[in-house]
């Protein structure tokens, strides 16, 4: 992978866990929203954050023994009511 650590990139880079490979299409289907940008932390092959039109998705390791992730969707611009 090219050196994209600690900066926001606007082109999708496929990434994999032990259980799944995430293409742009697979990720958009999983979260139900359109990709905009992603950010990788130092020396990680899985992004830490992915921005979509409506959410900031926080990706975290969800298992100790295998490489798997959980995705938490945080609304980007909650509507004020």
- 58 is a domain residue: yes
Q: Name the average pLDDT for the chain.
A: 88
Instruction: Give me 19's structure tokens.
Output: 């259980």
- 1 is a domain residue: no
| Burial class of residue 47 (count of CB atoms within 10 Å of its CB; 0-12, 13-18, 19+) | buried
Residue 54, sorted as left (phi over 0), alpha (psi -120 to 50) or beta, turns out to be alpha
Range of the domain at 15: 8-75
Per-residue model confidence as pLDDT tens digits over 26-62: 999 999 999 999 999 887 889 999 999 999 999 988 7
Q: What is the per-residue pLDDT for 4?
A: 63
- 81 is a domain residue: no
Query: What is the number of domains present in the chain?
Result: 1
Q: Is the pLDDT confidence value at 71 over 80?
A: yes
Write out the E strands in 1-81: 8-9, 15-16, 21-22, 35-39, 49-52, 55-61, 69-75
Q: What is the per-residue pLDDT for 30?
A: 93
With a pLDDT cut of 70, the percent of the chain lying above it is 85
């Amino acid at each position: 992978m090219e050196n994209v650590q600690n900066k926001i990139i606007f082109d999708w880079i496929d990434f994999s866990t032990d259980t799944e490979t995430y293409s742009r299409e697979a990720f958009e289907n999983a979260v139900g929203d359109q990709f905009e940008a992603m950010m990788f932390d130092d020396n990680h092959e899985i992004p830490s954050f992915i921005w979509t039109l409506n959410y900031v998705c926080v990706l975290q390791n969800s298992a100790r023994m295998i490489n798997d992730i959980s995705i938490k969707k945080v609304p980007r611009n909650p509507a004020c009511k």
